[in-house]
Structure formats: C-alpha cells, structure tokens
Amino acid sequence: MASAILPFSTDILIIGAGPAGLAAALAAANQSSIITVIDENQAPGGQIWRGGPASWRDERAHDLWRALANCLNVRIVYGVRIVATSADKEFLLETPGGAQKLTWNKLIICSGARELLLPFPGWTLPGVTGAGGLQALIKGGMPVEGKRVAVAGSGPLLLAVAETVIRAGGKVVSIIETKSSQNLIRFFLALLKSHRGKLLQSLKLFWQLKRVRYRHNARVITAHGEQRLLGISLQQGDKKIDLSCDLLACGFGLLPNLEIGTLLGCEIRDGCIVVDTNQASTRADVWVAGEACGIGGVDKALAEGHIAGLAAIGLAAESDAIACRAHARQFADLLKQSFAIDDSLRKLCKSDTLVCRCEDVSARQLREHSDWRTAKLMTRAGMGACQGRICGAACQFMFGWDAPGLRQPVFPTKTSTLAALSGAAGDVEK
C-alpha cells in the first residue's frame, strides 16, 4: 500500500492521511480507480492519530488501516508537500527525492488544521508550545518523564494533552481553563442531553486526572525565564498565582488549513472551505472533508471522509453515514459555542511582546498600522518561515485584520523545486 515513489498521474488524489483522508480512501477504493494519498508526515494518522499504527489507541484507526492494507489500488506516500499548481489539475510537489509533478482527475482535500497561537509575555521561551504541539512532540518521542508541565487554554483538548503528559511520565502541575465553572456546567449538561458517549469520555479523563489541580476562569499572563521556561504567572479571578514548571502547553483553538482550497479557488466562508451535502467544494471535481471544512474532531472527519470518498466515485452516502455526520457536526457546533475564544485574551499581548517571532516584530510596531498588508510591507511581519500562518492569525484575532493573502509557493521550498515549476528542471518521467 505504501510507496516511496509517486505515480505521475492518479485518478483520485487525497491530500492528508489523517482520519478523513484514510476514510475517504477506503470509501473510494471499491472501484478500480488509482487512488493516491499524500501526507507531509512520515506515518499515517494525521494530528489526531499521530505516530502511525504502533502509537494508535483508537481501534477505528486500526480497522481502517487493516482494511486499506487489502486495497491494491491505494498507495500512500509520505514526506510530500504541495508547493504550487503547475497546470490545471496538476500540483508541483516537494518530495524526499526532489521535485515532482502530479496530475489528478479528482481531488479530496483532507488537510486538517493547525493551532491558533496567541502572543503573551514569554510565549517565545523554549519550553512554551501549543497544546497539540506538545502532544505531537510526546508522541514523536520527546522525553517528558519527571518534567513539570502546565496545560492552559480552553476546551477538552487540555484534558487529552494532560493525560498524554502523565502517561509519558510527566507531572501536570495544573490545568488552566479560561472558561468559568458556569460555562463548563452548561457544556456538560449539553453532553448529557445529546452526546453521552462524549460525556463518558470526558468523565474518564477527569478520573484519570483526579490528582491534577484544575483551575477554571484562569489564564496564563506571563511565562518567566531567560534561556528557557522556569515558571508562569496566571490570573484566576482576582488572584495572581505563580507556578514553577518546565513546560507550558497553550491550547487556544484550531484553525483549518485552507492553503490548498484557496490555491484552487474554492469558496472560503467563515474561515472554512464551503462544501455541499456531498462534501463537494465550489471547484469542480474537488471535495473536502475533516477540519478544512470546519473544526469538529475525529468523528466528523471520519463521517465526512467516507461521504467524500463515495461522492468522488459517483456513489451516494448511506443514511447511517449522513446521520453520523449530522451528529458529529452537532457536537462540533456545541464545542464552538462552549469554548469560543475569549475576547479578554487580546489583552494578554503587551506593547513589547513579539507577535511575529520569525522577524522579531513587536505588538507596538504592528499597532502603528491599520491592516495586515501595510504592517507586512513596513515591518516584515509574516515574511519569515511560517509565512504569516502564526502571526497573521494572531493579528486577525487581536486587531481584526483580514487574513494574510496567499501566493505561490504556498510553503517555503527549495530553489530546485521552484525551477521545476518553470519547467527548468523538466517533467518527471511517467
């Protein structure tokens, strides 16, 4: 099933080997079409099932993987990044073996999401990461045994990250939740009414974390240290609390990865790629599933991936799949309402706080300008390695600016790959 060499062309191309991408591949594999799944990572699973089969604890992941192992028309290629469109229905890719052009007939985008990182004093210190980022590092083998870890932000992800830390031998000094106890009670009552399976998962996590101090209506206001993180200050109501810690994981929410959809001209609305009931985008022969069309977690990704895979081969989804999607989207809406980012977090960023860490641009420098484009031209914000993915999203939240524009190449890449875009490197042989 896996291969180190991409085909020159494929009937169905799936971007992303996470839950949505794997579900789409299996659903579409019933026909004899050649299906190619590409992913930047070195193993399947995406961010939710990170680390490959040896790391998976969700039996659904193993079921999908075993089923795909019998699909001889499906190949999955790792370490691949889309750089640009080189022609209609053709991508220029950067692979471990160099530049590669890949043509496709139908496309399913399952590009997932990335974390929203918000600046606050000390957020650039070594030891401060995103919540999902720390979880990914641990799954990738980073040792945390004996480390003191604070987990801060909002939402159920904080519990999952804390459990990952403890399972890896770390000590969680506190879970710091921005929402009030009233917000959390309303959320759990809603789970009791309509999502009892999720409620049981949450209660299981709380039981596993029973020895961890859980603070609500609290937020980290400063991370302290010189060469590395030494501790944090947090505000809980009227109290200021200082904690010593070695690592701080901050979870402010997720943002859909829209680069590929934007590159192809798909309609974007409310920060997501717009899809119809068959997961089809506004671009012909392009379907979208998972976080790229709305943050919602693994259940939503699996349901939408299945529906998109069937639609790509001209089949209608079963009523059970449609019902599962509806239920998963209902839960996604509940999460969005219950853990919407708190406006008060805008105040965490001080004038001398770095917002663009790639180009060392502070909030004071950015506030002198009225929009992202002007700030970028005058300060170089967003012109570093992340190309505005981190600081641009932060500026959207803090200043209400429009999102950074997109131009090719969509990721930093090698000059040899760019040469292939202009044809200087020649086409790859069939």
pLDDT recorded at residue 422? 66
pLDDT recorded at residue 415? 83
Question: For the segment 205-216, what is each residue's pLDDT rounded down to a tens digit?
Answer: 999 999 999 999
pLDDT recorded at residue 7? 64
Q: Is residue 167 over pLDDT 50?
A: yes
Q: Is residue 343 over pLDDT 80?
A: yes
Q: How far apart are CA 74 and CA 36, in angstroms?
A: 6
Question: For the segment 279-310, what is each residue's pLDDT rounded down to a tens digit?
Answer: 999 999 999 999 999 999 999 999 999 999 99
CATH numbers and ranges of domains, the chain:
9-114+255-317 (3.50.50.60), 117-252 (3.50.50.60), 349-399 (no CATH)
3-state helix, strand, coil in the chain (%, to 5): 35, 25, 40
pLDDT recorded at residue 426? 41
pTM score of the predicted model? 0.93
Q: Beta partners for 269?
A: 272
Q: How far apart are CA 113 and CA 133, in angstroms?
A: 12
The per-residue pLDDT of the chain, averaged, comes to 92
> 381: which residues sit within 8 A by CB, 6+ positions away?
355, 356, 359, 361, 365, 366, 372, 375, 388, 391, 392, 395
Question: For the segment 358-384, what is each residue's pLDDT rounded down to a tens digit?
Answer: 999 999 999 999 999 999 999 999 988
Q: What does the buried/exposed string (b/e) look like for 240-249 if buried means 16 or more CB atoms within 10 Å of the residue's CB?
A: eeebebbbbb
Res. 144 pLDDT band, cuts 50 70 90:
very high
Say how many CA atoms lie within 13 Å of 163 toward its Cβ.
15
Q: Cβ of 89: how many Cβ atoms within 10 Å? A: 17
Res. 423 pLDDT band, cuts 50 70 90:
low
Q: How far apart are CA 350 and CA 385, in angstroms?
A: 24
49, 160 Cβ separation under 8 angstroms: no
Cα Rg of the chain (Å, integer): 22
Q: Is residue 428 over pLDDT 50?
A: no
Question: For the segment 243-256, what is each residue's pLDDT rounded down to a tens digit?
Answer: 999 999 999 999 99
